[in-house]
Copies of this chain bind each other. A is one copy, B any other.
Amino acid sequence: MSVLFPKIPALLHGGDYNPDQWLDRPDILEEDIKMMKKAGVNTATVGVFSWSALEPQEGNFQFGWLHDIMDKLYENGIYTVLATPTGARPAWMDEKYPSVLRVEKDGRRNHHSGRHNHCMSSLEYRSLVEKMDTKLAQEFGNHPGLILWHISNEFGGECYCENCKKRFQEYLREKYHNNIEELNKQWWTSFWSRRFDSFEQIEPPYDNGEHSILGLNLDWKRFNSWNMKDYLAFERRILKKYTPQVPATANFMKLFEQLDYVDLAKEIDIISWDGYPSWNNDYETPADTAAELSFDHTVMRSLKKDKPFMLMESTPSLVNWHSFNKLKRPGILRASSIQTIGCGSDTVQYFQWRKGRGAAEQFHGAVVDHLGRDDTRVFKEVSEVGEILKKLAPVTGSKVTSKAAVLFDWSNRWAIKDMQGMARDTKNYEKEVRKFYNIHLKKGINADIVFPLEDLSSYSLVVLPMYYAVSKEAGEWLKEYVKNGGTVVATYLTAYVNENTLAYLGGFPGAGLGEVFGLYAEELDTLYPTDSNSVLMKDGNKALVKDYCELIKLTGAEVLGTYESDFYAGMPAVTVHSYGKGKAYYIGTRMEETDLIKFFTPIWSECGIKEKELPEGVEYLTRTAEDGSTFDFYVNYNATPATVQLAKNGTNLLNGEAVSGKVEILPFNAVVVK
């Protein structure tokens, strides 16, 4: 068992709470406590963006109100997640220390504004943060209600200031062993006369600067992520100095483009994230939206596979920044909260407890509306979730285990996005990774997301969608995995370039993987959206394929499917190759979900992975307790009841009744079998 907060042997329910917006309304603050208890809330996240309340003028620290709030929360059984207020700066800071402000891609320094507008390299900023975080840790580190540090908020953005430029140069100097020729080689600067004589000549990719060196672009993205991590580690060190016993988190945002969360995760203790699906939209079913949410949960969970994660923010109703901010339909909150727990979260938290009266997020959904009543639809649905979480308490601390894994890699994503070739708008790396995860979800198979160089020994199957930028080290890592009996399924675009986007010579896949797959891809055909081809599989199945088709030449692999049309009709499209004790499948083109499921079915069987027939729109998720017993979650995302064949009989935690065999699940509801 990996219970996140030993103080609380239960799932957390709560959310962002901004009492500093209501300090002149003690009646409202009192009402908050009453309503929290009514809604079954046991945690509140306080202090996010509170810098100007905590230090209204430089050096004038005001912690009294926060003491009062945390005390009152604690007295009422509500624990505090305490945020460092560093997500935004007070006006006095930007006025006095303008160098803390970010410089944009166009070289202009921002004005005082918004959130996340401080340079992560700024020593002045870090020094002010150090003072604040030190004080906070000293003041509240021993508060009995404190369970978790919440560092800053939703990290993101970039800075192009002179400091950042210099740090970037130092970052490169270290990476390339102070050897400019090593950099020139990896960046292939002999192209277009881009050769550098010194690290000092290198600049960030300003909007009116260098963009043609893909290695530079990629290293800049890496640097920016690294610099953010460096800052995160800096804040955490301060907190740990005074409160080594209190864990720290930073709230992530699923596949956020700019930050390599695999790297950042090293500097936090617990993974938490903010999830805002577009429920009830006009382009997919709620079940489809739920599947995306399961994927996102899985990515986040996979960042620390040894413990549960937290859903730090979600909306009890609408959001306010989508293109269409539709109300969450009744039942969605219930179903998605149970799903969240099923995916490995030990919390359901909201942004926000109470709607503020003004500014950018005044109409973002909240548990308590401007209306202020506790008989609203939303308040009642939140209270129901509170009840459910209490019933699910036994799940607390249990884990999710998987025999299948799908690889995702931020560097690979960046490299593909910037790759000059293929088609501008159909590369869709993230979508493809999601697709390979989804075929597992649809068949009731828990799949992990894995990241390069991770220990793969617990997996019998690893899927490698569009794994384009592969270091030699990563090539070796996969080779070993297959050699030792693992099964991999790779796709078109595998190992074209190394980790710095230098193309492999002598045939793709490079990085030593050619011998693993027993083939090379001579050409990659990019199709227009109206084009398609089909693949005739050995088993007689015909799979429609789109967007990309590799023209494969064999060097040992066995053909499993061939193209049916165009000038490469009859050429291999799908292959398999035995290597060591393992097997390496290769899908040289883009297939659709239903065909992939057909393709994977025998592979799952070979790999000892059990699939499960599920009604359309029902998710089956499993958590495993320390003693090996499991919690089976069946979540019905249909507007009609659904009947499932239980994987095992037991007690439905949601109502305490014994269940067995076939069970009917109500719309947007669930059965959780212990």
Contacts and interface: CB of A to CB of B under 8 A. Distances in A.
A63 interface: no
A208 B528 contact: no
A85 interface: yes
A193 interface: yes
A52 interface: yes
Query: Of A89, A111, A194, A201, which is in contact with the most chain B CB atoms at under 10 Å from its CB?
Result: A194
Interface string A462-486: 0000000000000000000000000
Given A329-B567, A503-B370, A523-B317, A21 B208 contact: no
A196 to B, nearest CB: 5
A507 B372 CA distance: 8
A97 interface: no
Given A92-B197, A192-B88, A371-B520, A187 B506 contact: no
Contact of A208 (B53, B111, B420): B111
Query: Of A357, A369, A370, A508, which is in contact with the most chain B CB atoms at under 10 Å from its CB?
Result: A357
Given A108-B107, A503-B358, A325 B193 contact: no
Given A203-B112, A323-B423, A282 B503 contact: no
The A interface is mostly helix, strand or loop, or mixed, namely loop
A419 interface: yes
A372 B505 contact: yes
A358 B193 contact: no
A95 interface: yes
A420 B111 contact: no
A26 to B, nearest CB: 15
Interface stretch (A138-146, A260-268, A287-295, A360-368): A360-368
Given A57-B197, A203-B112, A522-B371, A567 B330 contact: yes
A503 B364 CA distance: 12
A422 B325 contact: yes
Copies of this chain present in the complex amount to 3
Given A324-B527, A357-B502, A525-B326, A209 B422 contact: no
Nearest to A208: B110
Contact of A20 (B109, B113, B190): B190
Given A192-B49, A358-B503, A362-B503, A378 B112 contact: no
A179 interface: no
Interface in A240-294: 281-282
Contacts of A329: 567
Given A208-B111, A356-B188, A323 B505 contact: no
A426 B106 CA distance: 32
Interface string A321-344: 101111101100000000000000
Interface in A348-384: 355-364, 369-372, 376-378
A656 interface: no
Contacts of A90: 193, 195
Given A90-B195, A324-B423, A108 B111 contact: no
A215 B520 contact: no
Contacts of A425: 323
A189 B23 CA distance: 13
Nearest to A418: B360
A195 B421 contact: no
A533 interface: no
A501 B500 CA distance: 50
B282 A529 contact: yes
Given A282-B529, A357-B188, A528-B281, A95 B327 contact: no
A570 interface: no
B188 A53 contact: no
Interface in A99-123: 104, 106-115
Contacts of A20: 190
Contact of A195 (B56, B195, B214, B378): B56
A21 B191 contact: yes
Given A111-B210, A358-B215, A193 B420 contact: no
Interface in A541-570: 551, 567
Contacts of A109: 208
A74 interface: no
B193 A504 contact: no
Contacts of A108: 106-107, 208
A600 interface: no
B95 A187 contact: no
Given A91-B195, A210-B111, A360-B420, A505 B377 contact: no
A328 B66 CA distance: 67
A660 to B, nearest CB: 33
A163 interface: no
Given A56-B197, A111-B209, A355-B503, A420 B361 contact: yes
A211 interface: yes
A551 B504 CA distance: 61
Nearest to A202: B91
A396 interface: no
B18 A359 contact: no
Interface string A564-608: 000100000000000000000000000000000000000000000
A618 interface: no
A526 B322 CA distance: 11
B193 A89 contact: yes
A503 B366 CA distance: 14
Interface of A: 18, 20-21, 23, 49-53, 56-57, 85, 87-92, 95, 104, 106-115, 186-197, 201, 203, 206, 208-215, 281-282, 317-318, 320-321, 323-327, 329-330, 355-364, 369-372, 376-378, 419-426, 497, 500-508, 520, 522-531, 551, 567
12 contacts: A23-B190, A92-B197, A107-B108, A112-B203, A187-B359, A188-B362, A281-B528, A325-B421, A358-B502, A362-B420, A371-B505, A371-B508
- Which 10 residue pairs of A and B lie closest in terms of their CB atoms, listed nearest first? A188-B358, A363-B421, A111-B209, A282-B528, A191-B359, A113-B210, A52-B195, A212-B360, A21-B190, A88-B193
